[in-house]
Structure 1
Amino acid sequence: MYRNIIRKIDDWRCSRLSQQAFVFILAAVVGLLAGTGAFVLKRLVALISRLLTSHFHSSSANWPLLFIPVIGIVLTGIFCRYIVKAKLANGTSQLIHDLRNKVYRLKARITFTPIIASSITLGFGGSAGSEGPIAYTGAAIGSNLARLFRLTPGMMRLMVGCGAGAGIAGIFKSPLGGALFTLEVLRMPMTTFSVLVLLVTAITAAMTAFVLSGCTLDIPFDQSIAFDAGLIPFVVLLGVFCGVYSLYYSFIMKRIASLMRAIANPWVRNVAGGALLAVLVFLFPTLYGEGYGTVGKVINGNFSSLLNDSLFFADGSGAWTLILVAG
């Protein structure tokens, strides 16, 4: 039945609209769906996390953290190997690989399976981001809608990039962030038409996620002190430090990933990875899940939250706590 509806819509647009005009309409639909997907992903992660950690005590260590992440990694492995039967890790890397090899037809199941896998991983404490999965989901939404309406390969590539940007815009509620992700990371051609379509998709996705979440921000920032121009040199130094640190982070991440890939048995690999994560989360519970809640508290001056639920709990912790824990 839905095929007949799609065919009627396609026949109507072919007789009434140019392909460029229709792409703008399709871009808004992609943004709406990707923004909704980002909202669903956030809510699923929060629900699972709340069910597993609502009984925790903030003033002492919580021993269940030693096995909850292991269970999450194993469940995600089972979901990917036996239900989806595909690798869903490194969504951004996979997307870049697909675009580089001109693979614009993404499987329909990718429109929802990364959301499920990411919800399990993050909800059970996996210290990872939701950006890659939702970008891959958005790209699949754009790809499948473009395929349904028989768009040209060039337009299909555009919808894949716009869908990925919409996913990023929705998860961060930031249209500019989603647009820059597509232009800089995915290297989408920067023509007037493509940028305008991308902006329509990113703004729609960000506003959809923003409205569905009750018009709230994930990281609220209470700026009560005016910016001092004398801090500019320190801001520059911070930028340099963060750039160098990102290289260190990428190096360590690649080394750990190569060590894990060296383990042939997937069950052993899942348990080993989960156990390593569990130890880190037990010692530093702020690593549990995405961590946006903790980031929001730290930005607003609540440094003591860094040691909540841990062996190192202490009242009245100050700025040095942030430095020591981060180090």
Structure 2
Amino acid sequence: MSAFSQAITPLLDRLISWRERHISERYFLLILSLLIGVTMALVAAFLKFIIHVVESFILQNIEDHHYLYLLFPALGILLSLLFVRYIVRDDISHGVTKVLSSISQRKSRIKPHNTWTSIIASALTISFGGSVGAESPIVMTGAAVGSNFGRLFRLEQRNLMLLIGCGVAGALGGVFKAPITGLVFVIEVLLLDLTMASVLPLLVSSVSAAAVAYVLSGKEILFQFIQTDPYHIERIPLMILLGVVCGLMSLYFSKTMFRFESELKRIKDFRLRYLISAAILSLLIFLFPPLYGEGYDSVNILLDGQYTQLLDGSIFEAFSNSYWVVFAFFLLTVLFKVFASVATNSGGGCGGLFAPTLFMGGLTGFIFSYLVNYFSSLNVFISPKNYILL
């Protein structure tokens, strides 16, 4: 036991003893859920700030030197790989699967380093261009924060499980400023056996995280959108058809992801696997710049109607006036997104697949409207931004 542990343990014992005498378990869980929610809002804000600052700096330098698209994404996953392999020296696998595994197999105990390692690794990966999202690392971090808050105060396993849920709810509430989203995610995905008494801490955590996120960054939301084009009831068949297309695209994404991931995992030498993954990722981003990073900026550009801007810096830029070149560019971007995302994580990067699926959905909606409008007369024109959101 370290000198710090020897000094802090008696103080912690007295604090726990005082809490047991003066604060009931029910109210103490509410206090912890509030602390977890505030903590996760700060963590989410920190991660988004780091990603934004580094990414903006890199993209400004890439603007006139497009060949750097071949360098920075590979550098990002290399830094993440070295950080995990030689500094952390442990598995920091992230996402819902890891959380569910901790609940079912590890008695809701998550290692303390998971409270910060996923944040650093994902920041290195995404800010340098890794084609993944920050949501899964945030979820893993939230679960770890909740678990370790509970372990610090020596709570029972059932309460550790609830605090893991509070961490996840707070993480999503802080990222998306959507408290109900965090609550529903925990209930639907983590499948916790909840009672009315346990729903309240989840609400406190997600609402407090969303509130702090609003204080830190104002009313800014993920997709800035003002509806100017109405949804017409006679377009419902097209909306249903878009749903079918998105379902097929989702099937393509999941099947391709598992197959490609398993092929890369067969490469046992991590150095060779990194080189192959980095080459795939960098080449795809060089050819299709919208694959750089999470992809939310690309979706917002489409919502603004500036779709040709996404061709800037690509080999397709000179042909941006051609309908079929633009169509081919966006279709290939959607189809190759899964390869870029899997290559990012398999090569040593750290990130989730929630952002890539939103990116694919937005681009699929755009491609659908782009194609329908090309083959339609002017009186059946459909709004691209409405279908991007759909």
TM-score by length of 2: 0.77
Change (3 A) 1:196 1:242: farther
- Corresponding pairs, count: 325
**Residue in 2 that maps onto 1:47:** 53
Change (3 A) 1:61 1:280: farther
Shift of 1:280: 0.8
Conserved in 2, the CA contact under 8 Å of 1:218 and 1:293?
A: no
Out of 13, 25, 39, the position equivalent to 1:33 is 39
Out of 211, 235, 239, the position equivalent to 1:235 is 239
Conserved in 2, the CA contact under 8 Å of 1:303 and 1:322?
A: no
Give per-residue Cα distances to partners, 1:48-71, cap 9 Å, x unaligned: 2122221233xx770011121111
Change (3 A) 1:103 1:245: farther
| Distance in 2 of aligned mates of 1:269 and 1:310 | 27
SS in 2 for 1:126: coil
Out of 265, 277, 284, the position equivalent to 1:280 is 284
Change (3 A) 1:213 1:309: farther
Tell me whether 286-295 or 171-180 shows the greater mean CA deviation: 171-180
| Distance in 2 of aligned mates of 1:204 and 1:237 | 39
| Distance in 2 of aligned mates of 1:26 and 1:227 | 44
**Residue in 1 that maps onto 2:175:** 171
Change (3 A) 1:36 1:96: same
Conserved in 2, the CA contact under 8 Å of 1:61 and 1:311?
A: no
Tell me whether 313-322 or 151-160 shows the greater mean CA deviation: 313-322
**Residue in 1 that maps onto 2:316:** 312
| Distance in 1 of aligned mates of 2:133 and 2:123 | 10
**Residue in 2 that maps onto 1:18:** 24
Q: Which has the higher contact order (CA 8 A, sep 6+)?
A: 1
| Distance in 2 of aligned mates of 1:5 and 1:240 | 60
Tell me whether 129-138 or 3-12 shows the greater mean CA deviation: 3-12
Correspondence 1:65-144 to 2 at 5 A: 65-144=69-148
Change (3 A) 1:296 1:22: same
SS in 2 for 1:40: helix
Conserved in 2, the CA contact under 8 Å of 1:67 and 1:275?
A: no
Change (3 A) 1:217 1:4: farther
Question: Does residue 258 of structure 1 match 2:266?
Answer: no
Change (3 A) 1:239 1:99: farther
SS in 1 for 2:61: coil
Give per-residue Cα distances to partners, 1:230-267, cap 9 Å, x unaligned: 33333333223222321210111111211111111111
Extract unaligned runs of 5+ from structure 1: none
Paired residue type of 1:234: L
Give per-residue Cα distances to partners, 1:16-66, cap 9 Å, x unaligned: 222112111111110111111111111111122122221233xx7700111
For the pair shown, the structure with the greater C-alpha radius of gyration is: 2
Question: What do you get for the CA RMSD once the two structures are aligned?
Answer: 2.2
Question: Does residue 156 of structure 1 match 2:160?
Answer: yes
Paired residue type of 2:272: V
Out of 304, 310, 313, the position equivalent to 1:300 is 304
Shift of 1:12: 3.5
Paired residue type of 1:133: P
Change (3 A) 1:177 1:240: farther
Conserved in 2, the CA contact under 8 Å of 1:182 and 1:188?
A: yes
Question: Does residue 217 of structure 1 match 2:232?
Answer: no
**Residue in 2 that maps onto 1:203:** 207
Give aligned-pair identity as a percent. 36
TM-score by length of 1: 0.91
Extract unaligned runs of 5+ from structure 2: 1-6, 336-390
Shift of 1:83: 0.6
Shift of 1:198: 1.3
